[in-house]
């Protein structure tokens, strides 16, 4: 017996090779994507790509201005209030605008930005970006400052970040410091973050972008900075400076007029939760760090199930539903019974109206009051002396009804008398029903 083996031809080998490539291609693509996609380090909110994305439009601002933008972003509600004030007072500029809001209970960083209305409007229009920037600065302050320096190094390497008549750019070791060219005039630069840093290195996370502000002209193909009118401020207008080596923000030695807390010179800036105005912290560790101390009113309210900051809201309307056009309550209302969680109050008792002819007298029904659980007696409204004049027939009917209800009811002797749900009986033949609903063998009730 002779065994023969078949040798595969070249076409079969080529098909097998193509099949193997198709099977391994998804694996290669997934590995490449995993290498380019950033991962969130443990205990951090944002990745390096997300930090570069949100810091790109402001990383090239002067250090003093950038530091107070980062501080103000941690108080987003006060930023919104300041932006509204700025829109309502467009005639005030620079230090004059800051002096006009000196009596406001805003953080000094928010007050200082009133001098730069274009920045306030940007932060108000991009409120979600402002909140994320503040949350990132509170949770990852060192990473935020490193991201700013990384962006500056890329703009410097691309040849788009140099000193000029508006900015002073100094490179110290591995740190780039940017300050206004004049200490009394601040120019807010506008630049396209998709161009000034060179080719963007995070394709899945393009930089945050907004259009030029009024008064800023950008030509097509523009690369670099665009400048508006300089903002005139005092020589010691800013109270903070970025300490790039220690990764924090420090208070400068000279305190400006709008900074009333007088911290020691060189003190590290500290976040003040009272200026947060109840805006929740997204990061759990930051939330726990700035949680009110034990025994404080906010902590007691939180323990009792109330929100940390009470919201001013209108009291809910607990009045019964009124039928349209009738003035009567809905059929499911129980007359005379106060609702759960309320009490009777004189202010909530409806004003009695004269009874219409042929109608039963109106009995005031107590309504609920959310002021407290204590029930207070309500004085009964008495009619005036001449109220029943001209209604003698109606008064007589009610008098007969009262006499009839005062008489004892006779026992039921006839099986034809059927007990009614209300406790009344049907009159036997020959009986007479009185207005009160009782029967007395055909006699008029009580007479």
Q: What is the pLDDT of residues 150-192, one digit of tens each?
A: 999 999 999 999 999 999 999 988 899 999 999 899 999 999 9
Say yes or no: 287 and 199 in one domain. no
User: Mean per-residue pLDDT for 131-153?
Assistant: 96
User: Mean per-residue pLDDT for 239-266?
Assistant: 81
33 domain-assigned: no
Residue pair 255/240 in contact by the 8 Å Cβ criterion = no
> Residue 336 pLDDT > 70, yes or no?
no
User: Mean per-residue pLDDT for 338-348?
Assistant: 43
343 domain-assigned: no
Say yes or no: 118 and 129 in one domain. yes
The residue that leads in pLDDT, 19 or 213, is: 213
Say yes or no: 292 and 198 in one domain. no
Cα 445 to Cα 432: distance, rounded to the nearest angstrom: 9
80 domain-assigned: yes
The predicted pLDDT at position 327 comes to 43
- Give the pLDDT band (50/70/90) at residue 447: very low
| pLDDT, tens only, 414-433 | 555 445 554 454 555 554 45
User: Mean per-residue pLDDT for 37-54?
Assistant: 78
> How many Cα atoms occupy the beta-carbon half-sphere of 118 within 13 Å?
19
177 domain-assigned: yes
Residue pair 166/227 in contact by the 8 Å Cβ criterion = yes
- Give the pLDDT band (50/70/90) at residue 269: confident
% of the chain residues with pLDDT over 90: 40
Say yes or no: 230 and 113 in one domain. yes
Say yes or no: 219 and 106 in one domain. yes
Beta strand pairing status for 185-186 and 175-180?
unpaired
- Give the pLDDT band (50/70/90) at residue 267: confident
| Nearest residue to 56 via CA among 177, 154, 165, 143 | 154
The predicted pLDDT at position 144 comes to 97
The predicted pLDDT at position 139 comes to 94
Cα 301 to Cα 303: distance, rounded to the nearest angstrom: 5
396 domain-assigned: no
Residue after which a domain boundary falls, among 308, 329, 351: 308
Cα 107 to Cα 113: distance, rounded to the nearest angstrom: 10
Say yes or no: 179 and 147 in one domain. yes
383 domain-assigned: no
Say yes or no: 80 and 146 in one domain. yes
% of the chain residues with pLDDT over 70: 55
> Residue 45 pLDDT > 60, yes or no?
yes
Parent domain of 295: 278-308
C-alpha distances out from residue 333 to 12, 323, 396, Å: 87, 12, 31
Say yes or no: 164 and 257 in one domain. yes
Residue pair 130/76 in contact by the 8 Å Cβ criterion = yes
Say yes or no: 66 and 102 in one domain. yes
Helix or strand (DSSP H, E) at 13: helix 10-36
**Per-chain mean pLDDT for the chain:** 74
Say yes or no: 226 and 99 in one domain. yes
Say yes or no: 245 and 129 in one domain. yes
Tally of structural domains, the chain: 2
Say yes or no: 53 and 174 in one domain. yes
Residue 4 has which token pair? Answer: 């023969």
422 domain-assigned: no
The predicted pLDDT at position 412 comes to 54
> Residue 194 pLDDT > 60, yes or no?
yes
């Amino acid at each position: 017996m002779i065994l023969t083996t078949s040798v595969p031809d070249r076409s079969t080998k080529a098909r097998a090779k193509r099949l193997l490539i198709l099977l391994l291609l998804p694996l290669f693509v997934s590995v490449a994507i995993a290498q380019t996609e950033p991962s969130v380090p443990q205990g951090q909110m944002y990745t390096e790509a997300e930090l570069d994305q949100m810091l790109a439009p402001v990383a090239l601002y002067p250090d003093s201005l950038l530091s107070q933008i980062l501080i103000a972003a941690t108080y987003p509600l006060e930023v919104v209030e300041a932006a509204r004030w700025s829109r309502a007072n467009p005639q005030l500029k620079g230090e004059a605008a800051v002096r006009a809001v000196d009596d406001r209970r805003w953080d000094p960083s928010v007050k200082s930005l009133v001098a730069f209305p274009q920045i306030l409007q940007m932060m108000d229009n991009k409120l979600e970006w402002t909140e994320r920037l503040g949350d990132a600065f509170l949770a990852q302050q060192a990473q935020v400052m490193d991201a700013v320096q990384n962006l500056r190094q890329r703009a410097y390497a691309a040849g788009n970040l140099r000193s000029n008549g508006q900015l002073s750019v100094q490179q110290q070791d591995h740190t780039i410091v940017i300050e206004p060219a004049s200490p009394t005039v601040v120019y807010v630069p506008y630049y396209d973050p998709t161009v000034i840093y060179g080719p963007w290195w995070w394709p899945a996370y393009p930089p945050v972008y907004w259009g030029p502000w009024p008064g800023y002209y950008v030509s097509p193909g523009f690369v670099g900075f665009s400048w508006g009118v300089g903002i005139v401020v005092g020589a010691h207008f800013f109270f903070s400076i970025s300490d790039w080596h220690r990764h924090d923000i420090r208070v400068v030695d000279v305190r400006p007029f709008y900074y009333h807390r007088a911290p020691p010179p060189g003190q590290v800036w500290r976040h003040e939760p009272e200026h947060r105005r109840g805006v929740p912290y997204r990061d759990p560790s930051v939330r726990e760090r700035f949680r009110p101390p034990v025994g404080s009113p906010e902590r007691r309210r939180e323990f009792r199930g109330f929100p940390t900051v009470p919201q001013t809201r209108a009291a809910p309307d607990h009045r019964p539903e009124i039928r349209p056009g009738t003035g009567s309550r809905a059929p499911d209302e129980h007359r005379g019974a106060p609702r759960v969680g309320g009490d009777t109050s004189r202010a909530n008792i409806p004003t009695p109206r004269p009874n219409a002819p042929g109608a039963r007298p109106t009995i005031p029904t107590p309504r609920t009051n959310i002021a407290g659980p204590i029930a207070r007696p309500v004085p009964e409204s008495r009619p005036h002396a001449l109220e029943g004049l001209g209604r003698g027939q109606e008064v007589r009917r009610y008098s007969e009804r009262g006499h009839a209800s005062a008489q004892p009811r006779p026992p039921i002797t006839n099986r034809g008398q059927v007990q009614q749900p209300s406790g009344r009986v049907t009159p036997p033949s020959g009986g007479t029903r009185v207005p009160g609903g009782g029967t007395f063998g055909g006699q008029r009730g009580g007479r």
